[in-house]
């Protein structure tokens, strides 16, 4: 689905950017142009970014 129509940015593009290290709207804007034009996509882009950031589980202690 398109998130930013102005710059033709899809959910997949945002997911790829997150996988490559983007963790803020500023980084998404710099990389993909999200929110640079009319700004209507910002809240949706933020939500998609947060959903794409998968928390890394804490290392579990192994007991022998």
Q: Per residue in 22-57, pLDDT tens?
A: 999 999 999 999 999 999 999 999 999 999 998 766
Q: Where are the domains of the chain?
A: 2-52
Cα distances (Å, whole numbers) of residue 57 to 6, 9, 18, 20, 60? 36, 29, 17, 19, 8
CB 11 within 8 A of CB 19: no
Contacts of 51 (CB under 8 A, 6+ apart): none
What's residue 59's pLDDT?
65
Q: pTM for this structure?
A: 0.82
What's residue 55's pLDDT?
75
In the block, which residue shows the tokens 């809240």? 43
Question: What pLDDT band is residue 14 in, cutting at 50, 70 and 90?
Answer: very high
What's residue 56's pLDDT?
67
**2-52: CATH homologous superfamily?**
BFD-like [2Fe-2S]-binding domain (1.10.10.1100)
């Amino acid at each position: 689905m398109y998130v930013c129509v102005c710059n033709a940015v899809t959910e997949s593009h945002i997911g790829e950017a997150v996988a490559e290290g983007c963790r803020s709207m500023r980084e998404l804007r710099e990389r993909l142009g999200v929110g640079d034009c009319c700004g209507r996509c910002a809240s949706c882009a933020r939500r998609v970014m947060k959903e794409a950031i998968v928390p890394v589980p804490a290392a579990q202690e192994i007991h022998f």
